[in-house]
Amino acid sequence: MPKVGTIVPNGVFALIFLFLTALVPDPAVLGASNPHGPGQSVITKRKLLLTAIILASSLLFLNLAVAFLTRNSLPRRVMRHARESRSAGVVALGNSLVASDFDETTFDSAAGLSSPHGAVNLGLGATSPVEHLLLFRYALAHGLRPRLLVYGFYDFQLTDPVQFATGDLIGNHAMLYYIEPFYARHFYSLSVHDAFQFGAMRSFPMLADRGAIWAKVEILRRAMAQQGMPPQRTNRFGRAADFSLLEAASPEDFRRKCQSSMALPLSPAVSELVRQAHNAGISVVVVEMPMRAAHREMFYDTAWWAQYVAHLRALLSPYQVLYVDAGPWVPNDSFFADPLHLSEPGAVQFSRRLGSLLGPDMLPLSAQSAAPAPRRTPQ
């Protein structure tokens, strides 16, 4: 089954093919009416020009339509939020866990900050550290000068290499087409074939933002499929049950992933993010985001996770990064909206504690002072 991200490009190429085949005359017609004899082309310059005009007009219309429909896509709304928060003193970055769990107002109140010098949440769901680096650079380029960067993560996000195919660059990943696309290419890998496709597609909204249009179709499809069926639990990120698929399949799989990740450096995008923040005089706080009890007991309350976290701390130490272990901060699973994301009350609880920890003056903290009691290890 083809990836969703390949359906629209293939459809566009099929459309072009159909237009081109319209130029090829029917052999039967040629034999009956062509004065030059059967098999001889009767394509005129006028027909060729007309077909080219129709094709170009259709492609132009499709590009304009997609550009209009995606003008308020989620990445662009986050970019607009960054532009409108130039006085913010704290920037929160990460994927959907930060987007859902970090409450700006609660954090500001607990940290003793006031608008417009409080926190701005630039978390963006379904993204990698590459997008987080680009959003950080975008915020700085548009006048943001924070004194603190809060970077949330879970599991192996800080060390996993980022690898894409063009079929993956849909949804929020589509911002890789239009925010410093060539700079971003230094931080993730594409095959030669996909790199060529990327260069050809990035200038055309109908290809670069194809996933935003497909998402609207998918939402409609799911709504129609749900008719007459028991309601499924959903939130702003999608079906709640889907997020359990992002967790490790078993403790043994998680153990093997910990062991293999112990040999990895920080992913290039994470390393560059903390390096640029450090060089800009911005303090960096890396936050292990809150997890449900089942996730903590099965994966985090283990000796191998403790070893991996020690590895992370060593990698981050040259940049004077504060590591905050917030995994157990929300012990009540009723404060989770799905297997990974906090509900609104859970986000308030987490953000209040984080703001209180960092304090009204953002005093420097040691990594030890921010860490909770040692985790329980298996017997």
For position 206, what pLDDT does the model report? 86
> pLDDT confidence of 112, banded at 50, 70, 90?
very high
pTM: 0.82
Higher per-residue confidence, 329 vs 68: 329
User: Cα–Cα distance between 107 and 118 in angstroms, integer?
Assistant: 8
> pLDDT confidence of 213, banded at 50, 70, 90?
low
> pLDDT confidence of 272, banded at 50, 70, 90?
very high
Say which CATH superfamily domain 74-228+249-370 falls into.
Answer: SGNH hydrolase (3.40.50.1110)
Q: What is the mean pLDDT of residues 188-194?
A: 94
Q: What is the mean pLDDT of the chain?
A: 84
| Residue 105 to residues 62, 80, 145, Cα–Cα distance (Å) | 40, 18, 19
Q: What is the mean pLDDT of residues 117-146?
A: 97
User: Cα–Cα distance between 355 and 316 in angstroms, integer?
Assistant: 22
| Residue 251 to residues 232, 295, 304, Cα–Cα distance (Å) | 28, 10, 10
> pLDDT confidence of 364, banded at 50, 70, 90?
very low
- For every residue of 246-279, DSSP letters joined together read GS-SSHHHHHHHHHHHTT----HHHHHHHHHHHH
CA nearest to 88, candidates 150, 130, 153: 150
| Domain ranges (residues) in the chain | 4-69, 74-228+249-370
149 forms bridges with which residues in the sheet? 91, 284
User: Cα–Cα distance between 13 and 258 in angstroms, integer?
Assistant: 43
Q: Indicate if the pLDDT at residue 378 is higher than 80.
A: no
Where does residue 373 rank: exposed (0-12), middle (13-18), buried (19+ CB within 10 A)?
exposed
| Residue 70 to residues 168, 214, 236, 318, Cα–Cα distance (Å) | 18, 11, 18, 41
Q: Indicate if the pLDDT at residue 235 is higher than 80.
A: no
User: Cα–Cα distance between 195 and 190 in angstroms, integer?
Assistant: 6
Query: How many CB atoms within 10 Å of residue 49?
Result: 10
> pLDDT confidence of 244, banded at 50, 70, 90?
low
For the ranges 272-281, 284-293, 353-362, the lowest mean pLDDT is seen at 353-362
Higher per-residue confidence, 65 vs 272: 272
Bridging pattern class, strands 90-93 and 119-121: parallel
